[in-house]
Amino acid sequence: MIGFEPDPRAADLRDRVQRFVVEVAIPAEARDAGGHGLDDELRASLQDAARAAGIFAPQVSTALGGHGLDHRGAAVVLEAAGYSLLGPQALNCAAPDEGNIHLLDRVADDGQRERFLRPLAEGRVRSCFAMTEPSPGAGSDPSMLRTEARKVDGGWAISGRKWFITGAEGAAFTICMARTDKQIERGDGATMLLVEADNPGMRIERVVDAVDRSFPGGHAEVVFEECRVPDSAVLGEVGRGFDYAQVRLAPARLTHCMRWLGIACRALDTALDRAETREAFGSRLAELGQVQQMIADSVIDIETSRLLIWRCAWVLDQGGAARSESSIAKAHVAEAVYRVVDRAIQICGSLGVSGDAPLARYLTEVRPFRIYDGPTETHRWSIARRALRRRAARR
């Protein structure tokens, strides 16, 4: 049997998050200066408000003070939080911290849990995940990893350059993916290492001037130069970094979809309000066939996106890896959300491209999602290869 209603606990939390976003997060948007992410003071005040409302950390385990929602519960709650760009930050369910919390909760040892995971889950610090590299290093193809970690007395020395590392500026630590074997073979040979921000061997060279602004600290270029870390900095086992990346990848990719779906809903609501009130050519925009078609297409995009997210969440909750399901969801949702925002701008006309409405900001925020977590083209390639393999196996 397929059910489409969230369990009562998740539904109640979703309703409370919706109220919080309308009453607290959206009014606070006027305080967001529009730089690379909201400032620490605003973030802290929003998180205090979320704690007071009893909605903080919905996806974090109860052992760490969160609500312990499964992926299906998180789907409805994170969509509600994503209705404002500030919602996920307030609830401490934003990227990259949300994905790092999940990874550390699954892989970290006891010492790492207390030193890194607990303060992150409680919202006392931020973190980042350093994997992407400038050309010719690892991007969509992680096997091209060039950053090296060399074994030295008592630990490791990391050398390499990372690029577009979200949230690096102001993060308390990074999870760095580095090559620990001479080459990457069959997914082996890379290791995750925890590097604290005050390590003299790591520096932020610059914050990239990217079009999106919703991530605190922006996207940085980070350099590791003989960056020494102790053996206790190894996350999990040496050489299994790509295995652990899969632990993080599908759930983090899916929660991106959940949050951005919330923004698509906000964009459609903005367009609907405008279509109901704006008159042109003797009628309201809502009565014009071309506008109705755009509205209908956006409703379809939102509904199909939601169902793909729920399907992938169900697979994860059953213990599946959900690699195929998360790839399909990401490829569809990234494109669909962009279409919804773009149509909303078209319906709103000059208002849509102005700073008097939030839509222009949303467009710059959702456009990179078609690249982040794997470009749409990479996912389509992967989806097609799986379909061809399945067909060949049935012959």
Q: What is the CA radius of gyration of the chain?
A: 21
Q: Tell me the per-residue pLDDT of 28-54, one tens digit each, with 9 for 90 and over.
A: 999 886 677 778 899 999 999 999 999
Q: pLDDT tens, 80-130?
A: 999 999 999 999 999 999 999 999 999 999 999 999 999 999 999 999 999
- Type of residue found at 285: L
Q: Which two tokens stand for residue 242?
A: 């790509």
| Average of per-residue pLDDT values in the chain | 95
Question: Which residue matches tokens 């980070």?
Answer: 222
Residue with tokens 């620990």: 180
181 φ, ψ (degrees, to nearest 5): -115, 170
Write down the residue that tokens 């008592």 correspond to.
154
The residues spanned by each domain of the chain are: 8-94, 127-239, 242-394
Label residues 298-337 b or e (16+ Cβ within 10 Å = b). beebbeebbebbbbbbbbbeeeeebbbbbbbbbbbbbbbb
From residue 145, how far is each of 130, 203, 209, 377 by CA, in Å? 11, 19, 24, 20
Class of 8-94 in CATH: mainly alpha
Domain 127-239, what fold?
Answer: Butyryl-CoA Dehydrogenase, subunit A; domain 2 (2.40.110)
Which positions ≥6 away from 204 have C-beta within 8 Å? 168, 169, 220, 221, 222, 223
pLDDT greater than 60 at residue 156: yes
Tell me the CATH number for domain 242-394. Answer: 1.20.140.10
Predicted pLDDT of residue 38? 77
Q: Are 31 and 277 spatial neighbours (Cβ–Cβ below 8 Å)?
A: no
